[in-house]
Chains A and B, each alone.
Chain A
Amino acid sequence: MGGQDKLERFEQTILPHLDAAYNLARWLTRNEQDAQDMVQEASLRAFKFFDGFRGGDARAWLLTTVRNTCYTWLEQNRKSRATTSFDEELHGVEDNALNPSVLAIKGNDIEMLKESLEELPDEFREVIVLRDLEELSYKQIAEVINAPLGTVMSRLARARGQLKRILCSRFKETP
């Protein structure tokens, strides 16, 4: 495959998914600048290994590279990952019911939701981002996070449960 040909194919199949790449990187790094660096680095890496991409799901393929790049970065910046040790007990064991009207109405709650999602451990945050924001299927998520389907299902359920608990405790704090 000629270099020019490869470049054109790459630009047509992979680059349209930069928004998805950036969104995932932004949620994993939790800041703009690092997210941009991650996407740039991942794109170059993806280009380098593009010969190994045999068609199929281009978005999931790119997201896999983005995720790996981000995790390498997270490993190196582990000091900022205090949230991994999130204490499920601390945030209340009671299965509180949410007040339906709150989230639907107030813009503040969206901010609260954003903060709660950022508070989740990376492994939980990413499945919610991939499923609820990116709307990937379980199969695609399994490909991106390189885990069996069963893991995807249980992780997603636990992630949502924890997100709900954080939200509930935040609602209680707000007068």
Chain B
Amino acid sequence: MDCTNVQTLLDIYLDRELDAVRNLEIEAHLEGCARCSQSFGDRQIIRYGLKTESLYFKAPADLQKRIQRSVREAARAEMPTPWFSLSWMRIAAPMTAAALVVLLLIPFIKGPSTDERLTEDIVGSHIRSLMVNHLADVPSTDEHTVKPWFNGKIDFSPPVSDLAKEGFPLVGGRLDYLNDRPVAALVYQRDTHVINVFVWPSDKSAQISGPIKTRQGYHVIRWASAGVNFWVVSDLETSQLAKFAELLKSSVATSPR
């Protein structure tokens, strides 16, 4: 084998990816050729230098945790119909027992309040919107696109404001059905968390608000102001969600209807 051939194969030889026959040929050539031997030596030196620990960047510890968290979140979002999933099977037995107790107690207690039922419905609606990949009928970050879209589809005009500057960008809107009536669902986002805001007219004009409720890991904040019901639901942590609610309240109060 001549120098040109050897030079071509030198890297493959260095990487031990050469077949046995040519391996031997190169070894023999290197023994007798100072020039090729020198350039092989250089490759070894560089390779040796590249193995230095400080050139290999290890993932920072908190990155690992962050990724684990976001992957788990993604896993939760793509869980199949929850009533078949494993975690539901695990709690099915205690639930059956609880149901039995409830059945026995029914004569003595009142059914769930409409408020309670609505909370469940809202959480259910939120989960469905994430599961079936039907977040928005009108995907848009522009409030002036989302708001008019509801014209003619619903008997009121929902207040829509973009809170992107505050870190809660508008993602879109869709129609939903709650409390025996069609309602407007406005979709916002915070990092990877989705926030659904359900809006419909209220018969009370006074400002009221309820405490934060948590169902199946989702938090619900609700209030009514200026004749409109607002129900906000998300898996975002409560302090952040409360901040979002405050922003929404004040932007609705200041924006022209």
Given A10-B71, A15-B64, A163-B46, A21:B59 Cβ within 8 A: yes
Q: How far is the CB of B148 from chain A (nearest CB, A)?
A: 32
Query: Are B58 and A23 in touch, CB under 8 angstroms?
Result: yes
Query: Are A113 and B85 in touch, CB under 8 angstroms?
Result: no
Identify which of B46, B57, B68 contacts A35 (C-beta below 8 A).
B57
Interchain CA distance A95-B10 in the complex, whole Å: 15
Interchain CA distance A121-B254 in the complex, whole Å: 53
Query: Are B63 and A18 in touch, CB under 8 angstroms?
Result: yes
Count, chain A residues at interface, CB 8 A: 49
Interchain CA distance A160-B44 in the complex, whole Å: 11
Given A4-B87, A132-B47, A26:B71 Cβ within 8 A: no
Interchain CA distance A15-B67 in the complex, whole Å: 9
**CB-based nearest B residue for A137:** B17
CB neighbours (8 Å) of A36 from chain B are 60, 63
Given A4-B75, A138-B15, A40:B52 Cβ within 8 A: no
Does A164 interact with chain B (Cβ within 8 Å)?
yes
Identify which of A27, A44, A103, A113 contacts B71 (C-beta below 8 A).
A44
CB neighbours (8 Å) of A5 from chain B are 86
Query: Are A133 and B50 in touch, CB under 8 angstroms?
Result: yes
Interchain CA distance A98-B75 in the complex, whole Å: 52
Contact size range, B: 35 or more
Query: Are A19 and B67 in touch, CB under 8 angstroms?
Result: no
CB neighbours (8 Å) of B47 from chain A are 132
Interchain CA distance A132-B10 in the complex, whole Å: 15
CB neighbours (8 Å) of B22 from chain A are none
Does B54 interact with chain A (Cβ within 8 Å)?
yes
Interchain CA distance A167-B50 in the complex, whole Å: 12
Does A124 interact with chain B (Cβ within 8 Å)?
no
Interchain CA distance A110-B8 in the complex, whole Å: 27
Does A114 interact with chain B (Cβ within 8 Å)?
yes
Q: How far is the CB of A24 from chain B (nearest CB, A)?
A: 9
Q: Kindly list the 10 A-B residue pairs having the minimum CB-CB distance in the complex, ordered from nearest.
A: A22-B59, A26-B57, A3-B79, A7-B75, A132-B50, A157-B11, A18-B59, A98-B42, A43-B67, A113-B49
A residues with a Cβ closer than 8 A to B are 2-7, 10-11, 15, 18-19, 21-23, 26-27, 32, 35-36, 39-40, 43-44, 47-48, 95, 97-98, 100, 103-104, 109-110, 113-114, 117, 128, 131-133, 137-138, 153, 156-157, 160, 163-164, 167
B residues with a Cβ closer than 8 A to A are 8, 10-12, 15, 17, 38-39, 41-43, 45-52, 54-60, 63-64, 66-68, 70-72, 74-76, 78-80, 85-87
**18 further interface pairs, Cβ-Cβ under 8 Å (given A153-B17, A164-B43):** A4-B85, A10-B75, A18-B64, A18-B67, A23-B56, A23-B57, A23-B59, A36-B63, A40-B67, A44-B71, A48-B78, A97-B39, A110-B55, A113-B50, A153-B11, A153-B12, A164-B42, A167-B46
